[in-house]
């Protein structure tokens, strides 16, 4: 059971949040016109200075810079969990499981494409080090059956072992991803109930539930927008969490006739009203960004008010992941010569 005396971890998470990139930092980054200039600013003026200390910003490659930033976000997770031995609590393996699932799905994508020999380049050693299976063996995989052999002693094996290829020999990555993500969400909620109690359990179930709920809302919208799916079809791809939207309103959403009608119904919900406050022009083209903004605002609010180590770690790492995604968005935008204003519209800043 969880020990409630982890105040030092809460303080550490909040202190780290205080070092986050501010709006002024993003404005400065948006002024940069080369990858080297972005790297130099991050190295000189932000909390990424330590992880970039040995990097020659004049010659750094885009891919290498992005890998360093992603690795730093992961290492911060490891450091926070190790700080007061929270890594001994099962729940705090959640990030490892999430990463494993991403790697498995990516491996299947490469199998489908017939380019498995290139998969090795996508495996980060820092992730492989913490995996529950030999992740580097996936680099030798050339077929789905070989993938299953690597995963045989993991929970993932039973989840995906019965998948069949289509007429072209390809496996349904969307269905497999949904199955694995559903397992992950179930695992997180089961771990919360097992490892925590009282206010910690309540807050963790609440914040994770809302974040997954918003993912469901967007995934349902995508299916509605691109395939006009009905409630029965959409229900098959939703995570197993109860929505904070009433059953009647949720059913109305699922049975809407179009993406535009879906948005109009969503505006009548608590989530929709909060998104509307941030963006009165909420539309089907902006919904993904509107949901990302709301998810990060919820995480930020929980981090500010919590006295629980579990909540503080979960939310600060969610926010840090968004920060790294923002930087990577700027890097990609500069790489392809996208105007700064257009890049800015893609950032999630709360």
Give me the pLDDT at residue 126, please.
87
Is 13 contained in some domain? no
CB 183 within 8 A of CB 159: yes
Give me the pLDDT at residue 229, please.
86
pTM: 0.90
Number of Cβ within 10 Å of residue 272's Cβ equals 22
CB 180 within 8 A of CB 101: yes
**Token pair recorded at residue 210:** 């809302």
Question: How many domains, the chain?
Answer: 1
Give me the pLDDT at residue 172, please.
96
Give me the pLDDT at residue 226, please.
86
Helices (H) and strands (E) in the chain, counts: 17, 0
Is 109 contained in some domain? no
Is 46 contained in some domain? no
Give me the pLDDT at residue 3, please.
52
Give me the pLDDT at residue 21, please.
97
Is 289 contained in some domain? yes
Is 269 contained in some domain? yes
Distances (CA, A) of 206 to 211, 282, 328: 9, 25, 29
Is 286 contained in some domain? yes
Give me the pLDDT at residue 6, please.
79
Distances (CA, A) of 60 to 40, 43, 195: 10, 12, 43
The torsion of the CA quartet 187, 190, 196, 202, rounded to 10 degrees, works out to 110
User: Residue 128 — left, alpha, or beta (φ > 0 → left; ψ -120 to 50 → alpha)?
Assistant: alpha
What's the DSSP call for residue 196?
-
Domain extent for 296: 199-305
Give me the pLDDT at residue 5, please.
61
Is 55 contained in some domain? no
**Mean pLDDT per segment of 10 residues, for the chain of length 350 residues?**
69 91 97 97 96 96 94 91 87 94 96 93 88 92 96 97 96 95 96 94 96 95 88 90 94 92 96 95 94 97 92 94 97 96 96
Is 296 contained in some domain? yes
Give me the pLDDT at residue 261, please.
94
């Amino acid at each position: 059971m969880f020990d409630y005396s982890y105040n030092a971890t809460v303080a550490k998470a909040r202190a780290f949040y205080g070092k986050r990139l501010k709006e002024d930092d993003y404005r400065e980054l948006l002024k940069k016109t080369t990858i080297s200039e972005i790297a130099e600013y991050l190295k000189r003026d932000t909390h990424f200075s330590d992880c970039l200390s040995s990097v020659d910003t004049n010659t750094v490659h885009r891919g290498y810079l992005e890998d360093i930033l992603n690795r730093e976000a992961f290492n911060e997770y490891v450091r926070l969990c190790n700080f007061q031995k929270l890594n001994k609590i099962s729940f705090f393996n959640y990030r490892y499981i999430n990463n494993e699932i991403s790697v498995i799905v990516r491996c299947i994508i490469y199998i489908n494409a017939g380019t498995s020999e290139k998969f090795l380049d996508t495996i980060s050693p820092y992730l492989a080090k913490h995996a529950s299976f030999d992740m580097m063996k996936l680099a030798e995989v050339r077929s789905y059956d070989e993938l299953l052999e690597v995963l045989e002693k993991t929970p993932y094996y039973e989840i995906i072992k019965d998948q069949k290829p289509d007429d072209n020999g390809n496996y349904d990555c969307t269905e497999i991803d949904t199955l694995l993500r559903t397992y992950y969400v179930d695992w997180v909620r089961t771990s919360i109930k097992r490892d925590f109690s009282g206010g910690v359990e309540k807050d963790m179930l609440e914040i994770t539930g809302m974040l997954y709920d918003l993912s469901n809302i967007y995934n349902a919208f995508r299916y509605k927008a691109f395939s006009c799916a009905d409630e029965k079809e959409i229900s098959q791809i939703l995570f197993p969490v109860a929505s904070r939207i009433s059953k009647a309103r949720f059913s109305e959403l699922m049975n809407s006739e179009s993406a535009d009608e879906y948005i109009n119904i969503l505006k009548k919900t608590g989530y929709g009203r909060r998104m509307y406050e941030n963006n009165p022009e909420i539309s089907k083209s902006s919904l993904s960004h509107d949901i990302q903004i709301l998810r990060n605002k919820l995480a930020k609010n929980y981090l500010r008010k919590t006295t629980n180590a579990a909540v503080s770690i979960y939310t600060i790492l969610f926010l840090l992941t968004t920060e790294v995604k923002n930087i990577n968005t700027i890097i990609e935008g500069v790489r392809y010569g996208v105007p700064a204003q257009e890049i800015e519209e893609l950032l999630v800043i709360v």
